[in-house]
Amino acid sequence: MGHTIEFLGTGTSSGVPMIACQCTVCSSNNKKDNRLRSSILIKSEKTVVVIDTTPDFRYQMLRSNVNHLDAILFTHSHKDHIAGLDDIKAYNFISQRPMSLFANTETCDALRRDFYYAFADKKYPGIPQLDLNLVDYEPFSIMDIDFMPIKVKHLNMDVHGYRFGDFTYITDANHIDDSEKEKIKGTQVLVVNALRKEKHLSHFTLQEAIDLATELEIPTTYFTHLSHQMGLHDEVSASLPKGMFLAYDGLVLDVNNA
């Protein structure tokens, strides 16, 4: 059996359109130029998982009609990837169980700090119920999905990418060591961040992301975590090499669980 992947958001930390910006992209009438903060929904035959709870998490769940959620994986602790966590309390109420969270050490520390009330010894009624699990770089499973964490660098920060089956998801990166690239090789579908065309200190540019996919010989690549500086979706898409695409909110993929 395979997985269904839905892009809940494909934008960078400010989203697109960006507040108060009147550029061509932020003013576009094309829905593919409207991007919530980056996150994906993974569905298998038995399991539903989200990677990252963005500031748009509540709306993303409503927009995609996600009525059941088994677990949340986190890539790192930046606010555009964790800020929506409080809204999982709706799932707590429906399922009558804590939400399973999986994150690296730095992100676990940030979640305990930012959502301190959920980890307090004396808990106020109605707060999120969380089951926080530390994951390093060893493979782990959530029900019927096997995950392989991949360490990527976001300037000086360690960020988790995740591979499951023939699919790899990487966001907020500008460097990947050769040893970690070995974990990606053989992937049939790669999702990787590409902030803009111009150089950035902590994100891959479009060309750097293209070069990475080419180096690893990935058959199909989608670029995410896009800023308004990337340009219009249709114009940029027309310029991309074969097998490479800009992701957009609401895009759904079917991938193998090989």
User: Using CA atoms, how far apart are residues 230 and 12, in angstroms rounded to an integer?
Assistant: 11
Instruction: Tell me the two tokens of residue 36.
Output: 């919530």
CB 157 within 8 A of CB 135: no
The class (CATH top level) of 3-136+145-249 is alpha beta
Q: pLDDT at position 123, please? A: 84
Instruction: Tell me the two tokens of residue 207.
Output: 């060309």
Residue 257 has pLDDT above 80, yes or no: no
User: Using CA atoms, how far apart are residues 65 and 42, in angstroms rounded to an integer?
Assistant: 13
Q: Count the Cβ atoms, other than its own, within 10 Å of residue 79.
A: 13
Q: pLDDT at position 1, please? A: 58
Q: Count the Cβ atoms, other than its own, within 10 Å of residue 69.
A: 19
User: Using CA atoms, how far apart are residues 258 and 253, in angstroms rounded to an integer?
Assistant: 15
pLDDT digits (tens, 9 = 90+) for 201-220: 999 999 999 999 999 999 99
Residue 258 has pLDDT above 60, yes or no: no
pLDDT digits (tens, 9 = 90+) for 164-188: 999 999 999 999 999 999 999 999 9
Instruction: Tell me the two tokens of residue 93.
Output: 């109420």
Q: pLDDT at position 77, please? A: 98
CA distances from 257 to 28, 98, 145, 180, 252 (A): 37, 27, 8, 20, 16
Q: pLDDT at position 56, please? A: 98
**Listed residue (4, 3, 17, 37) closest to 232, CA to CA:** 17
User: Using CA atoms, how far apart are residues 205 and 48, in angstroms rounded to an integer?
Assistant: 31
Q: What is the mean pLDDT of the chain?
A: 96
pLDDT digits (tens, 9 = 90+) for 109-167: 999 999 999 999 988 888 999 999 999 999 999 999 999 999 999 999 999 999 999 99
Tell me what the mean pLDDT of segment 76-85 comes to: 98
Edge to edge, the sheet with strand 130-134 lists 130-134, 99-103, 71-73, 48-51, 39-43, 3-9, 252-255
pLDDT band at 256 (very low <50, low <70, confident <90, very high): confident
Residue with tokens 């790899």: 168
Residue percentage of the chain with pLDDT more than 90: 95
H-state helical runs in 51-190 = 57-63, 79-82, 89-95, 105-114, 178-184
